[in-house]
């Protein structure tokens, strides 16, 4: 079974530029998550999709971050304009549910450096 | 108060010893508890999940959950240098959707 795919793996941009990340979840996983992981911290949820609907985006800085999941499969996360503090690893995860138990699987992440 | 708390470490143990990693959480409504392992520069990898009070064993790993004390732990028996990584505790925040809240992680170092 193929895992969660993400691209690009690395990105370096200057502040105020825009950047977009792409995620392809595991086939059949209805729930997709974007996390931000700053060095030395645990992942922080930015947005959660159930199929193509947003379940939770309470921690998404909506003035600069946006995300979409068209057709309930692939997803993109965009930052515009980027700030220095956006330097982090952006992790995509997808999950399936068995009964009330849910398991999340992470992609390799995209390392973003904002200069 | 942080929602999920872990000692950042590093926790140093010799090869072959038992490593004990601890985690406390603040939301009494939490229902699902996970331990992820994260090697430097890699993404988190699920190693254990636990949903009810007591112990759950999987190979060299044992997860322990005490909901009354809001405490979850991970024991690694016969620790190996390859176990050296950061271990992230994650807890569902409760409610209708499985929002995971992570701790900051405990760095484990296993010396040969």
Mean pLDDT of B94-110: 83
Rounded percentage of chain A residues whose pLDDT exceeds 90:
78
What does the pLDDT average to over B64-80?
A: 96
B100 CB within 8 Å of a chain A CB: yes
In this predicted structure, the answer to whether residue B89 has a pLDDT above a threshold of 80 is yes
What number is the average pLDDT over the span B76-96? 89
Each residue's pLDDT tens digit, B32-58: 899 999 999 999 999 999 999 999 999
Residues in chain B with CB shorter than 8 Å from the CB of A40 are 8, 104
**Interacting residues of B83 by C-beta distance below 8 A, sequence separation 6+:** B19, B76, B108, B110
Q: What's the token pair of residue A89?
A: 């690893």
Interface of A with B in 1-20 (CB under 8 A): none
Does B101 contact chain A (CB < 8 Å)? Answer: yes
Q: Is the pLDDT of residue B96 over 70?
A: no
Chain A contact for B20 (CB, 8 A cutoff): no
Distance (Å, whole) CA A9 – CA A112: 9
pLDDT at residue number B31 = 86
């Amino acid at each position: 079974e193929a895992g969660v795919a993400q691209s690009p793996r690395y990105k370096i941009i200057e502040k105020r530029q825009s950047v977009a990340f792409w995620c392809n979840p595991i086939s059949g996983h209805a729930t997709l998550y974007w996390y931000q992981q700053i060095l030395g911290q645990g992942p922080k949820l930015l947005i959660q999709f159930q199929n193509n609907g947003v379940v939770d985006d309470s921690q998404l800085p909506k003035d600069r971050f946006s995300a979409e999941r068209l057709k309930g499969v692939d997803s993109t996360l965009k930052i515009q304009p980027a700030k220095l503090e956006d330097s982090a690893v952006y992790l995509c995860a997808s999950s399936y549910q068995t009964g009330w138990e849910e398991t999340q699987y992470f992609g390799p992440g995209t390392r973003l450096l904002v200069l | 108060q942080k929602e999920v708390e872990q000692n950042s470490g590093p926790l140093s143990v010799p090869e072959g010893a038992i490593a004990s990693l601890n985690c406390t959480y603040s939301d009494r409504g939490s229902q699902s508890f996970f331990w992820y392992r994260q090697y430097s520069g890699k993404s988190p990898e699920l190693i254990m999940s636990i949903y009810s009070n007591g112990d759950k064993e999987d190979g060299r790993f044992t997860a322990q959950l005490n909901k009354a004390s809001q405490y979850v732990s991970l024991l690694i028996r016969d620790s190996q240098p390859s176990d050296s990584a950061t271990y992230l505790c994650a807890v569902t925040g409760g409610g209708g959707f499985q929002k995971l809240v992570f701790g900051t992680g405990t760095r484990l170092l296993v010396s040969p």
